[in-house]
Amino acid sequence: MRDEALADDEVTWVDKLPVTTRVRTAFDLGRYLPRGEAIARLDSLMHSRIYSIEDVLLLAKRYRGARGLKALRAALPLVDGGAASPRETWLRLLYIDAGLPRPTTQIPIVEGRGRLVRMADMGWEEFMVVSEYDGDHHQTNRRQYVKDVKSLRKARGLGWIVDQVVKEDRPADIVERARTVLMSRGWKP
């Protein structure tokens, strides 16, 4: 619990309960949580419904001198509503922090006349390289697993390099795989 000042425009009502607006919630998450967790939650908030980063920055101006503004300002440029899970956020930040190009999220892989084969978690379209974070549900749901295998086979057949990341992978290995395939496709560090 914290004792915070809230202006009238920072509160809304949901089912007869007062709650902070998305912008105020983003303002607080970015200030109080550690970097990775803050960005994962900000991504999730953006994924569920878009909010304005500029409005969050305006709120930061309103509360000059508030605790955590430096952390908030550092986190906001990294927010990406295309991240579908905290582990996808973690993976994206791993690539960025390692000096790789910033990956795009939710990349459509299409064939023929534009038929969607798969929405890839993230990657680098210009190099036709994607990275998929395979969480536990990919292995426990047989139907999802089979769908993934088939769509990833098709993506590879279309010329995409697909790296499947699992939680047991070492971060250094993940980065090295991405760096190697990006360089093989023409990226120059």
Query: Residues 101-156: pLDDT tens digits?
Result: 999 999 999 998 899 999 999 999 999 999 999 876 666 788 888 888 899 999 99
pLDDT the model gives residue 38: 98
Q: In the chain, where are the structural domains located?
A: 8-78, 86-184
Tokens representing residue 72 in the block: 């908030």
Pairing of strands 115-124, 129-133: antiparallel
pLDDT the model gives residue 36: 98
Whole-angstrom Cα distance, residue 59 to residue 48? Answer: 21
Other beta carbons less than 10 A from residue 80's beta carbon: 21
* 32 close to 66: Cβ distance less than 8 angstroms: no
Whole-angstrom Cα distance, residue 67 to residue 83? Answer: 27
Average predicted confidence (pLDDT) for the chain: 95
Whole-angstrom Cα distance, residue 74 to residue 30? Answer: 9
pLDDT the model gives residue 137: 64
| DSSP structural state of residue 114 | T
- When pLDDT is averaged across residues 58-76 and rounded to a whole number, the result is 97
Q: Which fold has domain 86-184?
A: Endonuclease; Chain A (3.40.960)
Pairing of strands 129-133, 161-165: parallel
